[in-house]
A and B are shown apart, each in its own frame.
Chain A
Amino acid sequence: MKGLKLEGVGRVSGGEYDSIKLQGVSSCSDNIKAEDIEIEGVFTCGGEVEAGRMYCQGVADFKSNIRAKKVIVSGVFNLKEGAKLEAAEISCEGVIRTGGEIYADLLRADGCITAREVYGDNITIETHFPVNRIVKLFKTTKSDIKLIEATTIKLSGVTADTVNGTDITIGPNCKINSIDCSGALYVDSSSTVENITGNYARREY
């Protein structure tokens, strides 16, 4: 297999790589598979991506599904409506925006996530104020997700329609329409929750 490093403006050919490092403005219209992908510039990808580790410090647009072991986003990660992001672990200090689904065993986000659905085991989304400069640049100050479903959920600064889980912590500045909880539930006094169902026990923070 091969390694690829692009520093200027160029196109990435589809196929299998050991590692891909993109520092300029690049695009790819085919599927790519690599053990390690680093995006520091601007990248547009039309094909599916399969990776061991994906690191995005720049701005990346994906039109198809992404499947990786670990995804680290400190830049902006856009997925087209309907495209799926699947990873064992996702860490987001920047922005992830998708009209589709995100699946992760472990998701830790200090930045912003806009998604239709987020599913997983342990999901923490704490969108802080003030947010980092990339988040400010994209004028995104609150995470907005239609459905979050996981075993353990911890949220701050999140607007969501539905949150379903076993243990749920709703921190400050959240606006949730409905929660279904079957374990321990905490709701911060600065957050609003319209409906709560399930066999849950209220707990102190």
Chain B
Amino acid sequence: MNLISKKDLLAVTGISYGQLYRWKRERLIPEEWFLKQSAYTGQETFFPREQILSRIKSILDLKDIYSLEELAKILSPESSVEKISLGDLTEVEEINKELLEVLPEVFGEDQFEFFEVALSIAISQAAERLGLSGEAAKNLLKKSAAAALKHKTVTIFCTIFTVGEEYHTVFTPNSVAMSFDNEVELKEELALSEITDKIKMKYKHLFIK
């Protein structure tokens, strides 16, 4: 994982210690992103670079428009809406239309949890980048769903890899460096929370109560 130290973060973004800790206290920055590690100066705090920089930019862009409480709802990785209907999801252009058709079959109902929406978008976007056919994308989502549903949160990482021609996924609570043998080819690693950050901002009326 690409990390940034707290000191560098403050220097790069221009925010103060007070802002950083107020936003943490207001749950705008997840506690899991504060990673304490040993350094030559003692213990230092690091953050996942891309996630924290993107989050601080969002907070700085929005803090004059929304209250901190409203911002916490917008930026929380989870949605404040319990279920989203298939009809509403047709509006979400990030979900591959062919995948949309199989969502009731994959998740067993016509109403979907936010986590299931995030997974569908992750597979749709990965399929597009990897040049997968509609059928291959459907198969990958079907295979992934059961494993991903064990976590039931969007704060997980999805690693996509191939064994021969076959695509597979693995889900982990943290970003971990995995070492595969020669027959496995690593294709992508995705943080579901990065996807949810973007779609919650774009489709506020669907995902924020």
Tell whether A and B belong to one assembly. Answer: yes
> Which residues on A are within 8 Å of B, measured CB to CB?
86, 88, 103, 105, 119-122, 149-152, 162, 164-166, 178, 180
Residues from chain B with a CB closer than 8 A to the CB of A120 are 17-18, 21
B17 contacts which of A88, A150, A162 (Cβ < 8 Å)? A150
Least CB separation from B15: chain A residue? A151
Q: Is B133 at the interface (CB under 8 A from chain A)?
A: no
Report yes or no: B42 in contact with A121, Cβ–Cβ below 8 A: no
Least CB separation from B16: chain A residue? A151
Measured CB to CB, the closest approach of chain A to B40, in angstroms, equals: 12
A-B contact count (CB 8 A): 40
B16 contacts which of A86, A88, A121, A162 (Cβ < 8 Å)? A121
Residues from chain A with a CB closer than 8 A to the CB of B18 are 105, 120-122, 150-152
In chain B, positions 105-145 with a C-beta closer than 8 Å to chain A are: none
B22 contacts which of A121, A149, A165, A180 (Cβ < 8 Å)? A121
Report yes or no: A86 in contact with B17, Cβ–Cβ below 8 A: no
Q: Is B97 at the interface (CB under 8 A from chain A)?
A: no
Q: Is B25 at the interface (CB under 8 A from chain A)?
A: yes
B21 contacts which of A121, A152, A166, A180 (Cβ < 8 Å)? A121
Measured CB to CB, the closest approach of chain A to B137, in angstroms, equals: 43
Least CB separation from A162: chain B residue? B42
Least CB separation from A149: chain B residue? B17
Report yes or no: A166 in contact with B17, Cβ–Cβ below 8 A: yes
Measured CB to CB, the closest approach of chain A to B207, in angstroms, equals: 25
Residues from chain A with a CB closer than 8 A to the CB of B19 are 121, 151
* Residue contacts A-B, CB under 8 angstroms, 12 given: A88-B25, A103-B21, A105-B18, A120-B17, A121-B16, A121-B22, A122-B18, A151-B19, A162-B42, A166-B16, A178-B42, A180-B7
